[in-house]
Amino acid sequence: MAMTPEMERRAMLAVDRMLTLNEGLYSAARNVGTTRGTVLKWLALKNIGYRKVAYGRYKIEPPMEARVRRFLSGMAQGRSATAAAKRAGTTVRAMRNQTLDDGTGKQVPIIGKGGSRWESNFVPLYDHSIVVYGKLVGLDESLQGRPGQTAGPKAQRNKKKADEDYADIWWQYDLNNFVSSLSAAGAAAFWKPALVTFLKKTLEAPSVTNANVAKTFVKNAKVTAHALASGRLDKAGQLGNLTVLEDMMERYDLRLDKKINTGVDDNRATLTNIPDFVAKSDPRVTRQRNTDGYFQVFFLRKGGLDVFPPAPGLNLPFKYSVADERIA
């Protein structure tokens, strides 16, 4: 009887549990709702070797393609070629004879000698969802919203803790298709300084003309005094350009708080986010990327969550190159 797509999916999940959780064949099959026979049939269909070991357990013999991927992943994580090969259940000698397409149709060895060390000629490319978030401060460094409360994506799950009189206010910048050669957590940590610099430059530099809001600001004596001291008033005593944040929220001197956090989408930072391995010379690594990122401000009150601007938010494309990660 032919295997249905659902039977194949369950068999694959069982094999994954055997490899990653060290479960036996019977336990892995039972835990995903399939049978020992179905798993063995799937292994045979996929030409994946296996053998019986002690106590009736089965050991999967990963195909060479799987060993190559595991080996390259290990090297991308900073392991030596020897350590990466051992982790992948193979040897450096076997790996140095393996090749992959460099993107031009040419087969290139996956590793090469760089001085006395073996170096990978390929890097993994992941597709991550990364979020940058924090609080807002205004004139005189006044924190916006209720102090000391949770900010960021997890705050949306804590509506029971919301106050009837005060709002938890925070901002988020979401990049949903962030291509990187690093793990999700590694990419968030590596790019955080550049992302923060980009956001502050984009959101806090006076660049927007809005005469009506500017006139409203200078009606406040404290604002006028600050604008004069900051050199933001023209000869006629009028406030010039506003920042993106000031124009968006109609509040003078609104800025990002110094404490800024990064996070990743847990649903994508899993085994389902399987990378492509591409040559270091591939344009997907070397070219300048222009990735969409969406900025929003959140107001969490007892009555519910308000978001501004509405979804998807203000698009602030972030420019970067995956090649820059190779210096990490």
> CA-to-CA distance for 54 and 126, rounded, in angstroms?
37
| CA dihedral over 226, 230, 232, 236, signed as positive or negative | positive
> CA-to-CA distance for 149 and 285, rounded, in angstroms?
40
What confidence score (pLDDT) does residue 270 get? 46
Phi-psi region of 156 (alpha: psi -120 to 50; beta: other; left: phi over 0): alpha
What confidence score (pLDDT) does residue 266 get? 58
User: Two tokens at 126?
Assistant: 């992941």
- Predicted TM-score (pTM) of this structure: 0.77
Contact 116, 122 (CB under 8 A): no
Q: What is the DSSP annotation of 115-153?
A: TTEEEESEEEEEEEEEEEEEEEE-GGGPBPSSTT---SG
What confidence score (pLDDT) does residue 46 get? 84
Summarize the confidence of residues 107-129 as an average pLDDT: 94
> CA-to-CA distance for 174 and 313, rounded, in angstroms?
9
The residue extents of the domains of the chain are 5-61, 64-120, 126-205+243-327
| CA dihedral over 315, 321, 326, 328, signed as positive or negative | negative
CA nearest to 261, candidates 148, 135, 159, 147: 135
pLDDT tens by residue, 281-316: 999 999 999 999 999 999 988 778 899 999 999 999
Least-confidence region, from 6-10, 54-58, 151-155, 173-177: 151-155
Residue indicated by tokens 């420019």: 319
142: how many CB neighbours lie within 10 A of its CB? Answer: 10
> CA-to-CA distance for 295 and 132, rounded, in angstroms?
9
CA nearest to 199, candidates 141, 279, 263, 136: 136
pLDDT tens by residue, 81-94: 999 999 888 999 99
DSSP strand pairing (304-308 vs 255-264): unpaired
> CA-to-CA distance for 86 and 67, rounded, in angstroms?
10
> Does pLDDT of 157 surpass 70?
no
Q: 3-class SS at 262?
A: strand
Contact 108, 66 (CB under 8 A): no
